[in-house]
Amino acid sequence: MLTLDRPTSDTIAYFVQPGSVVRQLWGKADTVLFIFAGAAAEFALNKAVDWLYFTGRLPADPLGRLFSTVAYARRIVFADRAGAERAIDSMAAIHAAVEAKRGFNIPDWAYRDVLYMLIAYSISSFEVLERPLTPPEKEEITDVFLRVGRRMGIRGLPTSYPAWQADRQLHLSQDLQPSAYTADLYCQYRRHLGPWRYWLLRQAQWLVTPPLVRQLLGLRRGLALGLALAVYRRTQGLPPSQWLRAALLPPAWRAQILALDVVPGRAR
């Protein structure tokens, strides 16, 4: 009787290899939430944020709109190569449809800004919550998202982590500016989160964003932030810590956010 072996991780081509630090950091809900927080801050300041207002989805549901970006990134990180490329092509098609509807193209620098946010906040969120990353790990994170950008046809991308660092600083200095959109987005964040969770959002943003973003948004470090972070590092994974995290999450998003945790070692 002829039997066929099931494919294993050794025979499947992945966009991001199992065991990669990229899978490790994108497979944990806490890290993903901090990436989300950093992107929410920088999105609000970006000079191209009007593109996100064009469809009306961002002001109507800012958490959902930002979370959808995170969801696409996770699909890419955990899918096989073909699945990841389909997800990237789907993102490109969605943006192309918005461009066609508005009548002109999203500038390449705006695409790079969003891509750079995913790299920057992947690195800073993991380092805040876990440990310092090594230079090869930072290079690996950068490489993954630059490959996403190249698949999308984004022009002018750097080819290494040091080159990305230099271009990231240039983009920060040129592309961030508080506006009426900034104020409106933060009003929406507060309305959708409530005052206590909104305060937590701003504390998380202070931890992961660069100094310029903190300055432009008036983010301030809470007095107990260092202690809270130390306690988190020692108790993460324990039942009381998990219960507290669940209690702090917006009810509408609680189940979806908790589902972001990937069981270590499970192929995705």
| Calpha distance 22→117 (Å, rounded) | 15
Q: What pLDDT shows up at residue 73?
A: 81
Q: What pLDDT shows up at residue 48?
A: 84
Residue whose structure tokens are 């790079």: 112
The CA-to-CA distance between both ends of the chain, in Å, stands at 30
Local structure of 176: helix, strand or coil: strand
For residue 129, give the amino acid letter.
L
| Calpha distance 200→143 (Å, rounded) | 31
Phi/psi of residue 97, nearest 5 degrees: -65, -40
Per-residue pLDDT tens over the stretch 211-229: 999 999 999 887 666 666 6
Reading the chain (268 residues) residue by residue, the pLDDT tens digits are: 334 344 444 567 899 998 899 999 998 888 888 898 899 899 899 988 876 666 656 666 777 776 777 777 888 898 899 999 998 998 888 878 877 877 777 788 888 999 999 999 999 999 998 899 999 999 999 999 999 999 999 999 999 999 999 999 999 999 999 999 999 989 988 988 888 888 888 988 999 999 999 999 999 887 666 666 666 666 666 555 555 565 556 666 666 666 666 544 444 4
Alpha helices by DSSP H, listed for the chain, are: 21-26, 29-45, 50-54, 57-60, 62-78, 81-102, 108-129, 135-152, 161-175, 180-193, 195-208, 211-217, 225-235, 239-248, 254-258
Q: List the chain domain ranges.
A: 21-249
Distances (CA, A) of 165 to 39, 116, 144: 17, 9, 15
pTM, 2 dp:
0.84
Q: What pLDDT shows up at residue 149?
A: 94
